[in-house]
């Protein structure tokens, strides 16, 4: 009975990531000073754990979008970093901000009302996702090739929007998106929570999740079953673009500027890594949104731990690679058989005693 429970738990998509995350947290408990310490200042919570959640918010958003793309197409979206740069460029151009003196007091005024600027940037990000989806669904282009087009051209588009300059934003209300606080926690965490609840509802409480798994598992069979596989792929890429846009707003708000060359650089790799660590099948079909969030938290926790110990950047990449190998091994069928056999032997010894 216990053996079956252990095997069932190991078969869950998020098992390997949870084990490694628990080991990493245990390591920090003993070797990183004040890692779990939480302080309260002005009604806000501060601490390393809070920083991990806050700084990991963009990757968590990207991982959710990437998860649906991988599940529906068996491919990846390499353009999310470029979409971040385009989103940041547009919102910074629209908002900008300038200092105005009114009755001797300083006021910062935006070029465009902030709700319109944010909505416009998110719509553009979703439209870019639709572009990728159209190339895949109607152009029958492999996702890695279709999204490579926008990955290459995207930063050029961002530079055209910013005229090749780094645009600084002075409109302070915009800073709340990435640097504000709500109920004592960073506001970015609530953005991630909202997107996760929305995606979880669509994929678990409606037929969309079943359609995504079906199309990713066998697109031809899904078409014969009456599922509009093109619409499913379009939605998956559109959602991924939306998530990249939301991540771009958080990043742009945090740094208070838009850098077309560096905004979101290489974030697509962390997004893919988080989805894979979380148990999403790279061949398509099987996916786990909650697993992807755990994968993103694992990556950010590992990065924070590496920085805390002053590990050089070139060595940190090797450490990340080793952790990925460990997670993949735990999720493999060989590990399942090994741990299952160990559990069975312990139970037999306990029964014999």
Query: Residue 307 corresponds to which tokens in the numbers above?
Result: 């920085």
Taking only the tens place, the pLDDT of each residue in 83-108 is 999 999 999 888 876 656 666 666 56
Per-residue pLDDT, averaged over 284-302, amounts to 88
Confidence of residue 164 (pLDDT cuts 50, 70, 90): confident
Instruction: Say what the pLDDT of residue 220 is.
Output: 81
Instruction: Say what the pLDDT of residue 1 is.
Output: 44
pLDDT exceeds 80 at position 312? no
Per-residue pLDDT, averaged over 253-261, amounts to 87
**Higher pLDDT among residues 80 and 282, named by residue:** 80
pTM of the model: 0.86
pLDDT exceeds 60 at position 285? yes
Which residues are bridge partners to 102 per DSSP? Answer: 105
For all residues of the chain together, what is the average pLDDT? 84
- CA–CA separation, 255 vs 247, rounded Å? 13
The most distant pair of C-alpha atoms in the chain lies apart, rounded to whole Å, by 87
Instruction: Say what the pLDDT of residue 2 is.
Output: 42
Confidence of residue 319 (pLDDT cuts 50, 70, 90): confident
Instruction: Say what the pLDDT of residue 336 is.
Output: 62
pLDDT exceeds 60 at position 172? yes
- CA–CA separation, 208 vs 219, rounded Å? 14
pLDDT exceeds 80 at position 316? no
CB 286 within 8 A of CB 72: no
Query: How many Cβ atoms are within 10 Å of 34's Cβ, its own excluded?
Result: 10
Confidence of residue 193 (pLDDT cuts 50, 70, 90): very high
- CA–CA separation, 292 vs 323, rounded Å? 15
Would you state the CATH architecture of domain 2-32+44-345? Answer: Orthogonal Bundle (1.10)
CA of residue 244 relative to chain centroid, distance: 8
| H or E segment and range at residue 168 | strand 167-168
Return the domain boundaries, the chain.
2-32+44-345
- CA–CA separation, 112 vs 114, rounded Å? 6
Confidence of residue 13 (pLDDT cuts 50, 70, 90): low
């Amino acid at each position: 009975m216990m053996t079956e429970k252990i095997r069932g738990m190991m078969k869950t998509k998020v098992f390997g990531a949870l084990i490694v995350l628990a080991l990493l947290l245990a390591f920090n408990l003993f070797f990183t000073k004040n890692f779990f310490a939480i302080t309260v200042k002005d009604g806000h919570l501060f601490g390393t754990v809070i920083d991990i959640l806050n700084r990991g918010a963009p990757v968590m958003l990207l991982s959710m979008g990437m998860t649906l793309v991988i599940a529906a197409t068996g491919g990846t979206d390499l353009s999310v970093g470029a979409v971040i740069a385009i989103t940041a460029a547009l919102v910074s151009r629209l908002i900008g901000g300038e200092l105005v003196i009114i009755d001797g007091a300083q006021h910062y005024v935006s070029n465009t009302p902030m709700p319109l600027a944010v909505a416009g940037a998110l719509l553009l990000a979703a439209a870019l996702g639709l572009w990728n989806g159209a190339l895949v669904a109607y152009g029958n282009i492999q996702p890695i090739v279709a999204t490579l087009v926008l990955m290459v051209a995207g930063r050029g588009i961002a530079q055209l929007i910013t005229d090749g300059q780094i645009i600084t934003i002075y409109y302070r209300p915009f800073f709340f998106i990435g640097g504000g606080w709500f109920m004592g926690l960073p506001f970015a965490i609530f953005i991630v929570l909202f997107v996760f609840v929305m995606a979880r509802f669509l994929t678990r409480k409606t037929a969309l999740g079943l359609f995504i798994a079906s199309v990713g598992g066998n697109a031809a069979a899904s078409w014969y079953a009456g599922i509009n596989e093109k619409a499913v792929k379009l939605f998956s890429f559109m959602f991924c673009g939306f998530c990249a846009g939301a991540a771009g707003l958080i990043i742009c708000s945090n740094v208070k500027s838009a850098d077309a060359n560096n905004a979101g650089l290489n974030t697509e790799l962390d997004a893919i890594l988080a989805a894979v660590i979380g148990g999403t099948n790279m061949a398509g079909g099987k996916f786990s949104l909650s697993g992807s969030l755990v994968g993103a938290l694992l990556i950010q926790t590992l990065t924070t731990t590496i920085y805390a110990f002053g590990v050089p950047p070139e060595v940190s990449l090797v450490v990340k690679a080793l952790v990925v190998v460990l997670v993949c091994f735990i999720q493999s069928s060989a590990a399942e058989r090994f741990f299952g056999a160990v559990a069975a032997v312990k139970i037999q010894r306990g029964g014999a005693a």
